[in-house]
Structure 1
Amino acid sequence: MKKLITASVIALCAATAANAAGQLNLYVWSESFSPELIEKFAKEYDVKVNVDGYTSNEDLLTKLQAGSSGYDISTPSQHFLRIMIDEGLIQDYGANTLKAYELIDPRWKNQWWDETQAYSIPVAYGTAGFAVNTNEYTGPLDSLSYFFEPEAPLAGKIAMLSYPDEVVGAAQLYLGVPFCSENADEMKKVYDLLAAQKPSVAAYSSDNIASRLASGEVAAHFWWDGEELKARVNGAPFAYALPKEGLVGWIDSMVIPNGAPNRENAIKFIEFMSEPENATEQMNFYAHSSPMTLVADKVVYTKEKAPELYPEVPVEFSRTCSPAAQDLVNRVWTQLLQ
């Protein structure tokens, strides 16, 4: 989902000054938006759309905390969206007054990450878990135990992400430790599990996941549902585990950072991306579930074709933790990677 794009431009020509008329500056998950839709929007509204990509919520948060980013739209995940609202980093742009608001699936409206739905319109959701190369591993996929307490043929052939967010969450699901625990003893159990797993981990990396898994360098990789799905439908021998303990969930939303130089174009883009035809095309491109109203007969990734997107196991969404709880997560991860 998240390969770095630096200053890529999807428009008729390179951007001039960031606050020039007729521009829109996106800072979003890398390769997350359909280039065809961006081109369509650019032509329809006579707007140059400049796209930069990030690979972690932490990168986005750091950029916005620094101020004067020059960006008009970003797409944080739910727990970072809550932080951005609380820290005053993004605008109340009256999202709940837009037509886009009416098109949100009711289960995703006015959730804890944006109770009034004034700051955000959701654009995609999904899960994080383990994907396997079925040429390398043909065993069961119904429990996290096979990955956190691996035996042959997974021993030494597992890769994890380079940051703790969803990995620690999955470990907590396996152990029955609540997200955002402030209990040091509970988090020691998480550390002990990950430390015992470490000899079986070939890499802690969020880059080149598809190639690492496809080459057989590893047999299992912590990954995202839609990324595994896209690779699988293109012929890769991959499968996505649906463990009984559950999966870590995420939902990304379109927000407008403070100081956005092209606020009106940002709102036009949010409305445009939320239209059913465009939301459907975006889901078909991104291969993650859409929280918007769709054109049902045009959805490519149906339940029959994409079980990854329709898990029948528990899904627990990452939370915005207290400083004390986040400190314990950071300690677990720092100690693990020493």
Structure 2
Amino acid sequence: MKKILKALLALALAISMVLSLSGCGGEKRTQLKVYNWGDYIDQSILEEFEEKYNIDVIYDEFATNEEMYAKIKAGASDYDILIPSDYTIKRMIDEDMLHKIDMNNVPNYKYIGERFKNLAFDPNNEYSVPYMWGTVGILYNKTMVKEPVDSWKVLWDDKYSKQILMLDSLRDSIGITLKMLGYSLNTKNDNELNEAKDALIKQKPLVLAYVGDEVKDKMIGGEAALAVVWSGDAVYMKRENPDLEYVIPKEGSNIWFDSIVIPKTSQHKKEAELFINFLCEPEIAYRNADYIGYSTPHTEAMKMLPEDITSDKSAYPGEGDLVNSEVFEDLADSLVKYDRIWTEVKAQ
């Protein structure tokens, strides 16, 4: 009898240890791999998702759409979530690189504003869920620039030599140059593109640096007078330094939309859809937009944001502020022309 009791006690102890190990990490947790722009999510949200759903988030960052696309296209990654821009999403759809999202698993999609649905890059809302949107413009220091700033041409003014920061992004820097010249930022015309190249080469001696996220510290610290920036970064920098102001030039600019997609490299599609739905929860969407500073497409999050943010035209411009502005299109085979121009400009 004692032997039986000992055996039962031993079995109970073994079962208890197995259960304990499972609850303390003995059981392997799903890893959801997310690839996003730098400084483009509230990290506490990732931690909350991990705790709520018992899923580990592996989080990596990229600097440009082109960098992200090249990595995914090379097939050397197995990301579950990407957050690219409009024209890159269109390209990835055309090249069969994305899963269709089962919107039954994303009920919070109902909170996305109607103006952000049925966009040209995903007309049937099958592959993407809007994340943030905004514009590209000029951020300038009012103590260093006394004249009105209303045109891209100010970035070619000799008086600001070595006080100008340009984006280290071929689509953005070539795009604003094309707009300055009066052309479409989606042009495929060789003469127009060569004119833009010549203008960028002429401008280069005036440029302090071609930058990415480091533009924030440089402009907040007063290291430059003018910078080409994304609107959400402008909102953040204006908060940190009241001497800074943001403008969308009269020639027009880029209106961009970043959306969440699931690449076909994903091994965890349902968990990816769970993550998308989590990001679209009203409180989570609000916290994320408040932290990042970019414009949210989420109707409920908009209601929670303070009025000084929603009334700031840097973040939420009116229709009149967007005259002549365009959305980037997928350039397909013509992208090599832009690549060549940017390589030549940077090599000067």
Q: Give the structure-1-normalised TM-score.
A: 0.87
Contact preservation (8 Å) 1:95, 1:121: no
Q: 1:42, 1:49 within 8 Å by CA — same for their partners in 2?
A: yes
Identify the match of residue 37 of structure 1 among 27, 40, 45.
45
1:250 counterpart SS class: strand
Which of structures 1 and 2 has the bigger CA Rg?
2
The answer for the alignment partner of 1:291 in structure 2 is 297
Q: Give the Å deviation of 1:28.
A: 0.8
Deviation at 1:97, TM superposition (A): 7.1
What whole-Å deviation, never above 9, does each CA across 1:194-253 have from its counterpart, x for those lacking one? 222222112122252122223433211111111121122123532112211122121111
Are residue 77 (structure 1) and residue 85 (structure 2) matched? Answer: yes
Answer whether contact 2:134 2:255 (CA < 8 A) is retained.
Answer: yes
Counterpart Cα distance in 2 of 1:39 and 1:287: 20
Secondary structure at 1:111's aligned position in 2? coil
Tell whether 2:280 aligns with 1:274: yes
Mapped contact 1:119–1:255 kept (Cα < 8 A): yes
- Taking the aligned partners of 2:306 and 2:43, their CA distance within structure 1 comes to 18
Tell me the equivalent position of 1:52. Answer: 60
Question: What code does the residue aligned with 1:88 have?
Answer: D
Distance 1:205 1:304, change over 3 A: closer
> Do structure 1's residue 193 and structure 2's residue 199 form an aligned pair?
yes
Percent identical across equivalent pairs?
29
C-alpha contact (below 8 Å) 1:284/1:301 kept by paired residues = no
SS in 2 for 1:291: coil
| Structure 1 consecutive aligned stretches of length 4 or more whose deviation exceeds 4 Å | 301-305
Q: 1:317 aligns with which of 307, 319, 327?
A: 327
For 2:133, the equivalent position in structure 1 comes to: 125
CA shift in 2, pair 1:195/1:267, >3 Å: same
Contact 2:85 2:258 in 1 (8 A): yes
Aligned to 1:139: 147
Aligned partner (choices 59, 63, 88) of residue 96 of structure 2: 88
User: SS at 1:319's partner residue?
Assistant: coil
Shift of 1:180: 2.7
Question: Which residue number in structure 2 is paired with residue 13 of structure 1?
Answer: none
**Does residue 206 of structure 2 align to residue 203 of structure 1?**
no
**Displacement, 1:50?**
1.9
The answer as to whether partners of 1:101 and 1:121 remain within 8 angstroms in 2 is yes
Deviation at 1:307, TM superposition (A): 2.2
Q: What TM-score, normalized by structure 2, do the two folds share?
A: 0.84
Segments of 5+ residues of structure 2 without an aligned counterpart are 1-24
Segments of 5+ residues of structure 1 without an aligned counterpart are 1-15
SS of residue matched to 2:139 = strand
RMSD between superposed Cα atoms in Å: 2.1
